[in-house]
Structure 1
Amino acid sequence: CHRVQESLLSSSSGFSNYRGILNWCVIMLVLSNARLFLENLIKYGILVDPIQVVSLFLKDPYSWPALCLIIVSNVFILAALHIERRLAMETISEKVGTLLHTLNLTSILCFPVVVVLVVQSITPVGSTFTLGIHTILFLKLFSYRDVNKWCRELRQRKAQTLKRSHSYCQPSTLIHPSTSSWCGMYYFVFAPTLCYELNFPRSPRIRKRFLLRRLFEMLFFMQLLVGLIQQWMVPTIQNSMKPFKDMNYSRIIERLLKLAVSIRLLFLFIPFYFLNRKKANVVSNLMQVKLINFYFSLRNSETVTYFWQNWNIPVHRWCIRHFYKPMLKRGVKKGMAQTAVFFASAFFHEYLVSVPLKMFRLWAFMGMMAQLPLAWFVSKFLRGNYGNAAVWISLIIGQPIAVLMYVHDYYILNYEGGERPD
Structure 2
Amino acid sequence: MLGMTVSCAAAALYRSLPTISDLDGMGGESSNGENPCNGEIHSNGKMEVERLISKKLQLKRKAEHLKFDLMRQFDSQVLEFMDSLIEESASLEPAPVPAVFSPPLSDKERSKLRHLQGSSQGQGKQFVFRRSLLDELFEVNHIRTIYHMFIALLILFILSTLVVDFIDEGRLVLDFDLLVYVFGQFPLVVITWICMFLSVLVVPYSLFHTWASHYHESRHGTLWSLLLGALFLLYQGLGLGFLPTFVVVKNSFPPASCFIIILEQVRLMMKAHSYIRENVPKVLALAKDKSSSSPVSPLIPQLSHYIYFLFAPTLIYRDKYPRNPIIRWSYVASKLLQVLGCLFYAYYVFVRLCIPQFRSISQQLFDLRAMVLCVFNSILPGVLVLFLAFFAFLHCWLNAFAEMLRFADRMFYKDWWNSTSFANYYRTWNVVVHDWLYYYVYCDFLWMSKKRFRAAGMLLVFTMSAVVHEYILAICFGFFYPVLFCLFMCFGMMFNFILHDRRKGPIWNVIMWTALFLGQGVIICLYSQEWYAQRYCPLQEVYATAHLGKTFILGSYFIAFQIKESKYFKRLRCNLRFNQVFTCHVFFVLFLALFPRAAEAAFLELSPPDQPSSRLLRGCN
Q: TM class, shorter-chain normalised?
A: 0.7 to 0.9
Alpha-carbon distance in structure 1 between the residues aligned to 2:433 and 2:295 = 35
- How far 1:208 moved relative to its partner? 2.8
Kindly indicate whether the alpha-carbon contact (under 8 Å) linking 2:402 and 2:408 is maintained by their aligned counterparts in 1.
yes
From 181, 194, 205, the equivalent of 1:55 is 181
Asked if 1:112 is matched to 2:112, the reply is no
**TM-score, normalised on structure 2?**
0.55
| 1:163-242 matched pairs, under 5 angstroms | 163=291, 169-170=292-293, 172-176=295-299, 178=301, 180-181=302-303, 183-242=304-363
| 1:265-284 matched pairs, under 5 angstroms | 265-267=384-386, 269-284=387-402
Q: 1:53 to 1:176 in 2, by over 3 A?
A: farther
Alpha-carbon distance in structure 2 between the residues aligned to 1:364 and 1:417 = 22
The residue that corresponds to 1:94 in the other structure is 225
| 1:337-348 matched pairs, under 5 angstroms | 337-348=457-468
Alpha-carbon distance in structure 1 between the residues aligned to 2:162 and 2:194 = 44
SS in structure 2 at match of 1:299: helix
Alpha-carbon distance in structure 1 between the residues aligned to 2:163 and 2:371 = 19
The residue that corresponds to 2:262 in the other structure is 131
Q: 1:234 to 1:100 in 2, by over 3 A?
A: same
Alpha-carbon distance in structure 2 between the residues aligned to 1:42 and 1:288 = 41
The size of the alignment, in residue pairs, is: 379
The residue that corresponds to 1:315 in the other structure is 433
From 367, 375, 393, the equivalent of 1:248 is 367
- How far 1:89 moved relative to its partner? 0.9
The farther-off stretch of 220-229 and 385-394 is 220-229
- How far 1:222 moved relative to its partner? 3.2
Alpha-carbon distance in structure 1 between the residues aligned to 2:369 and 2:532 = 20
The farther-off stretch of 332-341 and 43-52 is 43-52
Q: 1:39 to 1:274 in 2, by over 3 A?
A: closer
Q: What letter corresponds to residue 395 of structure 2 in structure 1? A: R
Query: Could you give the per-residue CA deviations for residues 222-253 of structure 1, whole angstroms, max 9, x where no partner exists?
Result: 333333333333323323323xx412222222
Alpha-carbon distance in structure 2 between the residues aligned to 1:317 and 1:306 = 13
SS in structure 2 at match of 1:296: coil
The residue that corresponds to 2:201 in the other structure is 77
**TM-score, normalised on structure 1?**
0.79
- How far 1:326 moved relative to its partner? 0.8
Q: What letter corresponds to residue 262 of structure 1 in structure 2? A: P
SS in structure 2 at match of 1:205: coil
- How far 1:305 moved relative to its partner? 1.1
Q: What letter corresponds to residue 303 of structure 1 in structure 2? A: S
The residue that corresponds to 1:103 in the other structure is 234
| 1:353-372 matched pairs, under 5 angstroms | 353-370=473-490, 371-372=492-493
Kindly indicate whether the alpha-carbon contact (under 8 Å) linking 1:221 and 1:270 is maintained by their aligned counterparts in 2.
yes
From 525, 528, 544, the equivalent of 1:404 is 525
Instruction: Mark the runs of 5 or more structure 1 residues left unpaired by the alignment.
Output: 14-25, 164-168
Asked if 1:258 is matched to 2:377, the reply is yes
Alpha-carbon distance in structure 1 between the residues aligned to 2:259 and 2:208 = 30
The residue that corresponds to 2:273 in the other structure is 142
For the aligned residues, what is the CA RMSD? 3.3
Asked if 1:297 is matched to 2:418, the reply is no
Q: Report % sequence identity.
A: 19
Query: Could you give the per-residue CA deviations for residues 236-272 of structure 1, whole angstroms, max 9, x where no partner exists?
Result: 3323323xx41222222222212111211222x2221
Kindly indicate whether the alpha-carbon contact (under 8 Å) linking 2:394 and 2:430 is maintained by their aligned counterparts in 1.
no
Kindly indicate whether the alpha-carbon contact (under 8 Å) linking 1:281 and 1:291 is maintained by their aligned counterparts in 2.
no
Q: Which has the higher contact order (CA 8 A, sep 6+)?
A: 1
The higher radius of gyration belongs to 2
Query: Could you give the per-residue CA deviations for residues 323-374 of structure 1, whole angstroms, max 9, x where no partner exists?
Result: 1111111225111111110101101110110122232222221111121012
Q: 1:252 to 1:97 in 2, by over 3 A?
A: same
